[in-house]
Amino acid sequence: MIEIKSLPAGCAARRSETACETCGARAFSVCGSLGPADLAKLDALAEATAFAPGQPLAHEGDPADYLFNITSGSVRVYKLLSDGRRQITGFLFAGDFLGLASGDRHLFTAEAIEPSTACRFRRTAYQALVHDSPSLERALLDRARHELAAAQSQMLLLGRKTAHERLASFLLDLPSQDPLRPNAEGRVRLPMTRGEIADYLGLTIETVSRVLTKLKTQGVIRLLSLNELSLERPEQLRAMAEGEI
């Protein structure tokens, strides 16, 4: 069940402090680039919702009645083959928008990884608002541009990088996406399981585990716990991510 809080929608979550790895631009929430008038209109039609781990926000093939702006936690977005093979196309964190790629129906499934909250909009009302607000439309287009660039980088990773290069790229990218990354320099939070990392990188759980172990013994990373590690030699990781090692 989706819990609907009274107020406020809080869709204006920003994360302007993070620079984007993919395009060099500063990351931003869809709502982050709006004026107060647009924000007020958005809040009027938004509902704050909460999701337990594993709970779906959207399901592939279902009508896309709602769109979401994630306000806390983390979400996995994936597509399935009929025999159960899963490709996670992205992880979403606070400030990310869910549903940009959706028309009438969702083309992916989205589920909370941790306890998460999101700002929910009915799509019809949202479309009407977007229709009336050029600034909102522009913000959406910018966000779509950003997602397209990230998707192209991920295609390069999935099509042409080795297992080591994929892990290195992932560990470098993740903190720039997750606004909740630990503050200490080089620390990375891993809210997702090894299996989710594997399904995001086109590998198996075992390969992810082996590569992480190898990186650990090489002294490139240090595992602080199962769900947190620190980058000990980020420059070496960067070289590895580009295939220079």
Partner DNA sequence: CGAGCAGTTGATTTTTATCAAGTAGCGTGG
Partner DNA sequence: CCACGCTACTTGATAAAAATCAACTGCTCG
Binding site for a copy of itself (CB under 8 A): 22-23, 25, 79, 81-83, 85-87, 89, 100-103, 107-108, 131, 134, 137-138, 140-141, 144-145, 147-149, 151-156, 158-161, 199, 201-202, 242-244
Place of tokens 């869709």: 11
Structure tokens at 155: 């295609």
CB proximity list for 124: less than 8 A, separation 6 or greater: none
Residue 23's binding partner out of a copy of itself, DNA, none, with CB under 5 to 8 Å set by partner kind: a copy of itself
Residue 163's binding partner out of a copy of itself, DNA, none, with CB under 5 to 8 Å set by partner kind: DNA
Whether 233 contacts 219, CB under 8 Å: yes
Which of residues 187, 189, 194, 238 is near DNA by CB under 7 A? 194
CB of 105: closest distance to a copy of itself in angstroms?
8
Whether 211 contacts 202, CB under 8 Å: no
H or E element in which residue 176 lies: helix 163-177
Structure tokens at 167: 């892990």
CB of 121: closest distance to a copy of itself in angstroms?
16
193 binds DNA (CB under 7 A): yes
Nearer to a copy of itself, 74 or 154 (CB): 154
Q: State the Cα–Cα distance between residues 188 and 88, nearest whole angstrom.
A: 19
CA 151 to chain centre: 12
Count residues binding DNA (CB under 7 A): 21
Place of tokens 């819990």: 3
Whether 197 contacts 86, CB under 8 Å: no
User: Binding pattern to DNA, positions 215-244, x when CB under 7 A?
Assistant: --------x-xxx-----------------
By CB under 7 A, name the binding residues for DNA: 162-164, 193-195, 202-210, 212-213, 223, 225-227
